[in-house]
Amino acid sequence: MIPTSEPTARLRPGEGAIARLACLVLQPVLTRVVRRVATRHPSLFARLGPHQATDFLIDPVELPFALHLRPDPQALVFRAVPRDTAPQAGATIRGRFLLLLELIDAEQDGDAAFFSRDLEVSGDTEAVVRLRNALDDMDGSLAEEASAMFGAPGRAVLARLRRAYPDATKPQEYA
């Protein structure tokens, strides 16, 4: 369940400054990652159809910033934004960060996360469905791919991130 005590626009004391700093530090990484994904997985744009021009706000509820994605292959936008300056989004996807990451990597099922209320969507539902289907058609792990771009330090960060979420969003094991 998404904590109701963390509404999107509410900032804790000092969070604004932290968010801005984090966005600044992250931006070069995000730009590199999204360009790499676009180059290696061009077919995902076809599944997005008219929603290549939609502004998506991906909102990891426990982080001090959100992610703004506009998957236009001619003018890709993927940037971290403080919530108080986030653009008006066509569609918003909210959940804990690792859940969002695992949804992208098809380690979790989006419908199941929606049923359990761990995932919340608002705005243009068709845009969200298209993005989900486009990402789900990619082979391999985007998280692994992105972390590998930064060598051993990148992989270590990913491993540490996964260890930091021991239970809440781990994929279910099947026999």
Partner 1 sequence: MSLAELICPAGTPAALRTAVDAGADAVYCGFQDATNARNFPGLNFTPDELAEAVTYAHARGTKVLLALNTYPPAGKVDLWRHAADTGARLGVDAFIVADMGVADYIARTYPGIRLHLSVQAAASSPEAIRYYCENFGVKRVVLPRILTIPEIRQLRREIPCEIETFIFGNHGLMVEGRCSLTNYLTGQSTNMDGVCSPASDVEYVRDADGSMSSQLAGFTIDRFGVDEKAGYPTICKGRYAAPHRPEGYYAFEEPISLNLSRLLPELIEAGVHAFKIEGRQRSKSYVRGVVRAFRAAVDDIKAGREANIADLIALTEGQKQTQGAFETKKWR
Binding site for partner 1 (CB under 8 A): 1, 4, 47-49, 103, 106-112, 114-117, 120-126, 128-134, 136-139, 171-172, 174-175
| Nearest distance, CB of residue 97 and partner 1, angstroms | 18
| Nearest distance, CB of residue 102 and partner 1, angstroms | 8
Q: Residue count of the chain, please give it.
A: 175
Indicate the pairing of strand 77-82 with strand 91-95.
Answer: unpaired
Q: Kindly tell me the sign of the dihedral angle through the C-alpha atoms of 114, 119, 124, 127.
A: negative
Nearer to partner 1, 108 or 147 (CB): 108
Nearer to partner 1, 33 or 134 (CB): 134
| Nearest distance, CB of residue 126 and partner 1, angstroms | 4
Nearer to partner 1, 30 or 94 (CB): 94
**Residue 155 in contact with residue 45, Cβ under 8 Å?**
no
User: What DSSP designation does 50 have?
Assistant: G
Nearer to partner 1, 109 or 145 (CB): 109
| Nearest distance, CB of residue 154 and partner 1, angstroms | 24
Which residue type sits at 160?
A: R
Nearer to partner 1, 75 or 139 (CB): 139
| Nearest distance, CB of residue 110 and partner 1, angstroms | 6
Residue 57, strand partner residues:
68, 92
How many angstroms separate the CA atoms of 74 and 37, rounded? Answer: 14
Q: Which two tokens stand for residue 121?
A: 């969507």
